[in-house]
Amino acid sequence: MNKEQLQKLRENYSKHSLDESDVNYDPIIQFESWMKEAMNAEVPEPNAMTLSTVDANNKPHSRVVLLKGIEEGDFVFYTNWQSEKGSEIEQNPNTALCFLWLELERQVRIEGIAEKLSQEESEEYFKKRPYKSQIGALASNQSSVVPNREFLEKRFEELEEKYTEGDVPKPESWGGYRVKPEVLEFWQGRRSRLHDRIKYEKVGNKWDIKRLSP
């Protein structure tokens, strides 16, 4: 791979446009309408979002998680509270989420404060997960170092023998977070790099809407 190969990659975006006059005054309604369009366009894993958190030394870390709900305007995902991301959120709840829907030439950025869901709320979703995903969650002490692949597979098999379908307990440390959005930005790719960017910022209990230069 040489830099010329990378520098030659160039897309001219032309599929859609986004104007202050077409967006909903409520960014959550706007988000839901873009999410529906991403689903209808069969974007692979449209609910995949990059989650960024910051550690105790102010170093950022990003990874992909899946959006599993929008509840009262908050963005919900599930994970292990004792994972690296979990301990980062514990000491600094500022998070950023980023969706990329390339098929629609769209990006959505969200910034907000993460809060843990309760054990009960987490349990409710855990019960809906497929059996093998429940066993997988139980087998994995997320973000900890393991000696090898076999270690994980052996643990998975032991747990499969121990628990039958319907009675897998939710691990204490497995659960959800809700991200309460304070800033959202909808980005629509346009011709010649003159992209549309509409930014919502929460001011009191209203949303302030601005257009940003691309």
Tell me which residues touch ligand FMN (CB under 6 A).
45, 48, 61, 63-66, 77-79, 83-85, 142-143
Cβ of residue 5: shortest distance to ligand FMN, in angstroms? 25
Active-site residue (options: 190, 191, 193, 197) = 193
Cβ of residue 45: shortest distance to ligand FMN, in angstroms? 5
Cβ of residue 79: shortest distance to ligand FMN, in angstroms? 3
Q: Give yes or no: 10 in active site.
A: no
Our CB check for ligand FMN shows the closer of 13 and 78 to be 78
Our CB check for ligand FMN shows the closer of 85 and 190 to be 85
Our CB check for ligand FMN shows the closer of 66 and 209 to be 66
Cβ of residue 63: shortest distance to ligand FMN, in angstroms? 4
Contact 108, 185 (CB under 8 A): yes
Our CB check for ligand FMN shows the closer of 48 and 98 to be 48
The residues annotated as belonging to the active site are 193
